[in-house]
Amino acid sequence: MVVQVVRGFYAVAYAVKLCRPNVVCAYPITPQTEIVERLAEMYANGELKDCEYITAESEFGAASILVGAAAAGARTFTATCSQGLILMSEVLWNAAGLRLPIVLVVTNRAMSAPLSIWNDQQDSMLMRDAGIPQVYVENLQEAHDVIPQAFKVAEDRRVMLPFMVCMDGYKLTHAYEPIDVLSQEVVDGFLPRYNPPVYMTTKNPLTFGSYAPPHCYMELRVALQNAMTRAKEVISETCREWAKTVGRDWGGHLVEYFTEDAEVVAVAMGSLVGLVRDVVDEMRSRGRRVGLVKLRTLRPFPVEEVRRALRSANKVIVFERSVSFGYEGPVAIELKGALYRSGNTPEVYSIAVGLGGRDVPRALIVDCINKVIEGRIGEGFHFEGVKPFEEVLAP
Amino acid sequence: MKTYFGPGHGACPGCGLAIAAKTVINALEGRCFVVNPTGCLEIISSQYDRSAWGVPYIHSLFENAASVASGIEVALKVLGRKDEGHVVVLAGDGATADIGIGCLSGMFDRGHNVLYVCLDNEAYQNTGNQQSGLTPTGANTTTTPAGKLQPGKLQRKKNMPEIAVAHGAPYVATASVAYVPDLTRKVKRAVEFEGSKYLQVHCPCVTGWGISGRDVIPLARLAVETGLYPLVEWENGAVVRVMKIREKKPVEEYLKPQARFRHLFTHPKGKEVIGLIQRIADENIRRYNLLMGAG
């Protein structure tokens, strides 16, 4: 085991290198830039074997280049976030329909306007319905470990879909943490060479990207849904295999923490999980029956696991890092859907915190949980950690 | 000869673009990867389970063909399969000069070894004749309609070939379906160059231009003979060959048979616009030295 203190962007870039991609293509955007800069550096130094690093003219171009490369049989990687992700989104929807296993890291960042380079998770929510699995990571070791798993799941014959690894911008990308750095040997043993079932070749000229009139469109969408459904099992299976190979079990779709007898269960995704876990520990030590669900995958959505994790909860607090404007936080909406006719219908509090990089201090999490326990706020959607301000309407 | 494109595609009888696509693929003897953005060619050839293509083909989106082609080229290089064939884009004028110009500029800038062919039928014809950057002055389209005030499109056709030249593309040429052997030669010449090549082929459109299938070739020839569609070749930035005009034809001869220009002969501003179109033709003739015997 080689434990090294690294920054988040390096943990990702180095793991990507170990996965032996054939084409890496990106357009720089804060705070993703350092990931692709590290890869560009490795390329410039000849450390990326059998790989081309391409600088695109936009995120739209970058994703499109990878569509071509993946269709021709290459293992492909990119990273982006926020405005870049939404610019890419047309291509990513297309890549999902084309069933191309492009792996991308989203360094979660707020959406404009107002412009913000800081972290929340509004951007990846945009891609919820595209047919692309999304995994949210909590720390640098998890980010490092998930990259090989992402390629493995994406390229699995039962899946063949793009794959999104979501890591909080700055909070993870620029953090320093000690990680066990993977070896080439371990990754090679875990992740076989990419062997696409079909690809563009003059030896067997196939047509990719046909248009589908009404008499055949739906079946291809059913196939996409089936792939996402199978991806759910493949993600769990791959996670178990990783645990067996490397010794770190990231828990598949979600991780339960003190949920068995918890009356109040907090739900969080990404870098906030560590802080909430810490608060739960402290409250447990004072006899409070609180628990935590770390939700790792938003799609495919782990309905059964969510139902199990919330089976005894009276109150569920979802710490949202994004908003579905006009409704609630998107994660709470998903949870409520999963709980429908589950036999347990807890109160669900959807609490948006830390948007656009607003600090989420420990005291805010404690305060939110106490407010819910003591019945000081009602069910439904709330913003917390907001300064008092007067909204002035135009005359 | 082996068939690499069709039969069984759904183009209109006489469609200029189908002639051009077939000529390009045949010139490469099928040793190519075709990238085709959304548009006429895609719709007539790529329906699910009914592909007309005998070469590897991909359609991704409307505006990203140059990027997809870049990706294929890079993948073939890195996977050691460069010798399998040429990477060729067959794109419409809207996909090239309008919505896809950003991706195309990126491809030129990076210098991918790709032959980019713009099949120029001078409007969004697949969706029923909306104007594009390559629609010529005076044309009546559904988005630049000839009305009481406006005599069709007022702006000039975008000079895409020179935009390609300005990017440093090693080989740039214009061609026409009226001169198939010339088009074949240009395709073969283009792929002798390493880097991003640009070829723009004039392809009359039966429905959009309001002409009959039998007029496609004569009209394409008239476009060249009036000077409105100069056939020019650039190599490494310099003009190396042009197709000379034996006898210059007045632009009216080209405009009159086409429904898209018919209003110019009755509209109050029509005369003025025809005068402008003639000036454009004359400018082309001077700029590229098109007249036979003029050196």
Cβ-defined contact of B75 to A22 (cutoff 8 Å): yes
Would you call B89 helix, strand, or coil by DSSP? strand
Q: What's the angle, vertex CA B155, arms to CA B152 and CA B161, rounded to 5?
A: 125
DSSP letter for each residue of A257-299: ES-TT-SEEEEE-TTHHHHHHHHHHHHHHTT--EEEEEE-EEE
- List the one residue out of A133, A189, A147, A149 whose CA is nearest residue A9: A147
Mean pLDDT of B137-165: 97
Query: Which residues on B lie below 8 Å from A68 (Cβ)?
Result: 35, 58, 60, 67-75
Task: Give the contacts of A318 (CB within 8 A, at least 6 positions apart).
Answer: A266, A267, A268, A329, A331, A332, A335, A348, A349, A350, A351
Chain A with chain B: Cβ pairs closer than 8 A: 159
Cβ-defined contact of A202 to B106 (cutoff 8 Å): no
pLDDT at site A354: 98
| Alpha carbon distance A138, A297 (integer Å) | 12
pLDDT at site B1: 62
Cβ-defined contact of A211 to B60 (cutoff 8 Å): no
Cβ-defined contact of A60 to B103 (cutoff 8 Å): yes
Query: Which residues on B lie below 8 Å from A200 (Cβ)?
Result: 33, 56, 58, 72
Cα distances from A390 to residues A10, A358, A393, A394, B146, in angstroms, run 43, 19, 9, 13, 53
Would you say the C-alpha torsion A68, A71, A74, A78 has a positive or negative sign? positive
Cβ-defined contact of B71 to A203 (cutoff 8 Å): no
pTM over 0.80: yes
DSSP letter for each residue of A334-389: HHHHHHTTSS---EEEEEE--GGG----HHHHHHHHHHHHTT-S-SEEEE-S----
Residue B65, judged by CB atoms within 10 A of its CB (0-12, 13-18, 19+), counts as buried
List, in sequence order, every residue forming a beta bridge with A381; answer none if it has no partner: A350
B74 interface with A at CB cutoff 8 Å? yes
- Could you tell me the two tokens for A265? 């269960």
- Could you tell me the two tokens for A102? 């492009």
Whether A100 contacts A64, CB under 8 Å:
no
Cβ-defined contact of B64 to A61 (cutoff 8 Å): yes
A55 interface with B at CB cutoff 8 Å? yes
Tens of pLDDT, residue by residue over B54-112, are 999 999 999 999 999 999 999 999 999 999 999 999 999 999 999 999 999 999 999 99
- List the one residue out of A54, A126, A53 whose CA is nearest residue A84: A126
Q: Is the pLDDT confidence value at B223 over 90? A: yes
List, in sequence order, every residue forming a beta bridge with A347; answer none if it has no partner: A315
Would you call A245 helix, strand, or coil by DSSP? helix
B79 min Cα distance to partner chain A (Å): 7
pLDDT at site A99: 98
Q: Which residue of B has its CA nearest to A55?
A: B110
| Alpha carbon distance A319, A299 (integer Å) | 18
B101 interface with A at CB cutoff 8 Å? no
Tens of pLDDT, residue by residue over B154-178, are 999 999 999 999 999 999 999 999 9
pLDDT at site A202: 96
Cβ-defined contact of B63 to A71 (cutoff 8 Å): no
pLDDT at site B151: 97
Q: What's the angle, vertex CA B4, arms to CA B2 and CA B6, rounded to 5?
A: 110
- Residue found by looking up tokens 């949980």 in the block: A369
pLDDT at site A390: 95
Chain A interface, best mutation among B36, B40, B48, by max A CB count within 10 A: B48
Mean pLDDT of B253-257: 98
CB-CB: which of B60, B74, B81 is closest to A23? Answer: B74
Cβ-defined contact of A52 to B49 (cutoff 8 Å): no
Cβ-defined contact of B77 to A52 (cutoff 8 Å): yes
Work out the pLDDT band at B294, boundaries 50, 70, 90.
Answer: low
- List the one residue out of B138, B160, B140 whose CA is nearest residue B274: B138
CB-CB: which of B64, B69, B109 is closest to A91? Answer: B64
B235 min Cα distance to partner chain A (Å): 25
Low-confidence ranges of chain A (pLDDT < 50): none
B63 interface with A at CB cutoff 8 Å? yes
Tens of pLDDT, residue by residue over A302-321, are 999 999 999 999 999 999 99
List, in sequence order, every residue forming a beta bridge with B119; answer none if it has no partner: B92, B201
Q: What is the ipTM of this complex?
A: 0.97
B254 min Cα distance to partner chain A (Å): 36
Work out the pLDDT band at B8, boundaries 50, 70, 90.
Answer: confident
pLDDT at site B2: 77
| Alpha carbon distance A125, A132 (integer Å) | 11
- Could you tell me the two tokens for A135? 């995994």
Q: How many CB atoms lie within 10 A of CB A122?
A: 25
DSSP letter for each residue of A140-192: HHHHHHHHHHHHHHHHSTTT---EEEEEETTTTTT-EEEEEEPPHHHHHHHSP
A200 interface with B at CB cutoff 8 Å? yes
Query: Which residues on B lie below 8 Å from A91 (Cβ)?
Result: 60-61, 64
Query: Which residues on B lie below 8 Å from A55 (Cβ)?
Result: 110
Mean pLDDT of B230-256: 98
Would you call A307 helix, strand, or coil by DSSP? helix
CB-CB: which of B30, B57, B68 is closest to A67? Answer: B68
Q: What is the CA A97 to chain-centroid distance, rounded?
A: 19
Work out the pLDDT band at B251, boundaries 50, 70, 90.
Answer: very high
Tens of pLDDT, residue by residue over B23-43, are 999 999 999 999 999 999 999
| Alpha carbon distance A314, A204 (integer Å) | 59
Work out the pLDDT band at B295, boundaries 50, 70, 90.
Answer: low
- List the one residue out of B25, B31, B33 whose CA is nearest residue B75: B33
